[in-house]
Every structure is written in C-alpha cells, then in structure tokens.
C-alpha cells in the first residue's frame, strides 16, 4: 500500500512538472520564430491588445508570450 502511494505521488509530481499552467507542455505551442511571432502579434493587435513576452518567459517558446488586453477592459 505504501509503495503504491509513493508511486502515485511521484507520477503526480512528474505530471505537474511536465506541463505549463495552461496544461500544455512548453514545446506544444511551437518555436517563437519570426512568422509565428508576427502572426500572434498581428492577431493580438487586431484585438486591441499588446503582445509581449511573459515575465520570466523564454523568448524561444511561443507559449511564453501573452496578449495583454487593452487598458480599461
């Protein structure tokens, strides 16, 4: 019984480490190449938002960027 609990705890810890807060691993969003950044930035700007790198984010991962909503909304 104890061994089962330890194994389940370890698997839960590994699952938590393998995914980002959005539930996707960092590489599922793709690389932050020019074309991907341009498309995401244009989509964000079209909504009136500001496209930027998240605090502490890795500039090479597309999932580490965010679209901040316009102020006042």
Q: Is 41 exposed, middle or buried (0-12, 13-18, 19+ CB in 10 A)?
A: middle
Judge whether 73 lies within some domain: no
What pLDDT does residue 19 have? 42
How far apart CA 50 and CA 62 sit, in angstroms, is 15
Judge whether 21 lies within some domain: yes
Going residue by residue through the chain (73 aa), what tens digit of pLDDT does each one get?
676 655 655 555 545 444 444 555 555 668 889 999 999 999 999 999 999 999 999 999 999 999 999 887 6
What total number of domains does the chain contain? Answer: 1
Domain holding 44, by residue range, is 2-68
What pLDDT does residue 32 have? 87
What pLDDT does residue 17 have? 46
Pair of tokens at residue 54: 């998240």
Pair of tokens at residue 63: 């999932």
């Amino acid at each position: 019984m104890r061994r089962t609990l330890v194994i389940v705890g370890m698997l839960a810890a590994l699952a938590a480490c393998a995914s980002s807060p959005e539930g996707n691993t960092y590489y599922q969003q793709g690389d932050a190449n020019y074309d991907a950044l341009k498309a995401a930035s244009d989509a964000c700007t079209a909504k009136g938002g500001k496209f930027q790198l998240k605090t502490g984010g890795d500039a090479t991962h597309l999932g580490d960027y965010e679209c901040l909503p316009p102020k006042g909304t």
